[in-house]
Amino acid sequence: MIETNQITEALQKVREKSPLVHNITNYVAMNNTANALLSIGASPVMAHATNEVEDMVGIASSLVINMGTLSEKWVEAMILAGKKATEKAIPVIFDPVGVGATPYRTQVAQQIIEKCKPTVIRGNASEIMALCNSNLKTKGVDSTLSSNAALNSAKLLAKSTNAIVVVSGETDYITDGKRVTSINNGNTIMAKVTGMGCTATAITGAFAGAEKDLFIAAVSAMAIMGIAGEMASEVSKGPGSMQMNFIDQLYKISNIDIEQRLKIKYE
């Protein structure tokens, strides 16, 4: 069970340590995620050249791999960086954007899981289910998934990968295969802003770079995302102002905001 003060303390650690988060991410969300990382107190770096990703990840506190707009050369870089990070015990956060939409995406996601051994995987319900399915299949394990059971998929995926798995949605679930914590903050308009999921993954990278307990880090990231999103939605007129206000709220979010608004549950 995670106490509210573990979340506020994790946020404090991010702001004090200002972890360098190395992102190999998609073109659409780069600007948003860089701004989100700066606003929460982390230090973003984006670098994808195979000539330098190993050096770059070597000086980073965490690595975020997001396959939103993937291509061969970038996948090569993701794997190089991910292997190096794992070697150096730097947490790897993986966002399998669109896995299941095309065979290529499914294959790349599988490859990244096998070679980079991510410590946290974050996706929406359909991504986590697709990923779980393909992961079990490639391991010759029969899927025991019921069709809508994203949480079940998340648990199975966590067990088969040893990663903490985050399913984001109206309710966010965070599981290590045994424990399940859920966050009920946020607002539906967040789904109308591009790259919000990618931002959640990047923010998880920030917390994983500052808080050693990765389960606390993942829960804290989703709590902060939800609460900042909730506060931003209250002063926004549409997705455009929402995108802007969300960044402002990440910057301003206080312990009191967290204490008053956090909706957390344990299974």
Can you give the C-alpha Rg of the chain in angstroms?
17
| Residue 15 in the binding site for a copy of itself (CB under 8 A) | no
| Residue 254 in the binding site for a copy of itself (CB under 8 A) | no
Q: Which one of residues 168, 181, 201, 245 is an interface residue with a copy of itself (CB under 8 A)? A: 245
Binding window for a copy of itself (CB under 8 A); candidates: 3-11, 117-125, 190-198, 218-226: 190-198
User: Residues 97-135, buried b or exposed e (16+ Cβ, 10 A)?
Assistant: bbbbeeeebbebbbebbeebbbbbbbbbbbbbbbbbbbb
Q: Let me know: does 209 contact 61? Beta carbons within 8 Å.
A: yes
Sequence-ordered list of residues with C-beta below 8 angstroms from that of 233, at least 6 positions apart, any chain: 187, 189, 190, 242, 245
| Residue 193 in the binding site for a copy of itself (CB under 8 A) | yes
Minimum Å gap between C-beta 232 and a copy of itself is: 9
| Residue 248 in the binding site for a copy of itself (CB under 8 A) | yes
- The SS3 of residue 67 is coil
Q: In residues, how long is the chain?
A: 267
| Residue 238 in the binding site for a copy of itself (CB under 8 A) | yes
Binding window for a copy of itself (CB under 8 A); candidates: 7-15, 23-31, 85-93, 133-141: 23-31
| Residue 103 in the binding site for a copy of itself (CB under 8 A) | yes
Q: Which one of residues 1, 72, 140, 178 is an interface residue with a copy of itself (CB under 8 A)? A: 72
The Cα-based distances of 202 to 5, 55, 102, 109, 116 in angstroms read: 22, 20, 24, 17, 17
Binding window for a copy of itself (CB under 8 A); candidates: 10-18, 49-57, 166-174, 217-225: 49-57
| Total binding residues toward a copy of itself, as defined by CB under 8 A | 56
| Residue 239 in the binding site for a copy of itself (CB under 8 A) | yes
Q: Cβ closer to a copy of itself: 81 or 128?
A: 81
Q: Let me know: does 153 contact 172? Beta carbons within 8 Å.
A: no
Q: What is the spatial distance between Cα 207 and Cα 227, in angstroms, rounded to a whole number?
A: 15
Q: What is the spatial distance between Cα 4 and Cα 132, in angstroms, rounded to a whole number?
A: 30
Binding window for a copy of itself (CB under 8 A); candidates: 88-96, 124-132, 136-144, 249-257: 249-257
Q: Cβ closer to a copy of itself: 31 or 162?
A: 31
Six-digit token string for 26: 């998609």
Q: Which one of residues 13, 84, 105, 122 is an interface residue with a copy of itself (CB under 8 A)? A: 105
Q: Which one of residues 34, 120, 165, 224 is an interface residue with a copy of itself (CB under 8 A)? A: 34
Six-digit token string for 206: 């920030």
Six-digit token string for 40: 């929460």
| Residue 137 in the binding site for a copy of itself (CB under 8 A) | no
Q: Which residues bind a copy of itself (CB under 8 A)?
A: 26-32, 34-35, 38-39, 44-52, 55-56, 59, 68-73, 98, 101-105, 191-195, 236-241, 243-252
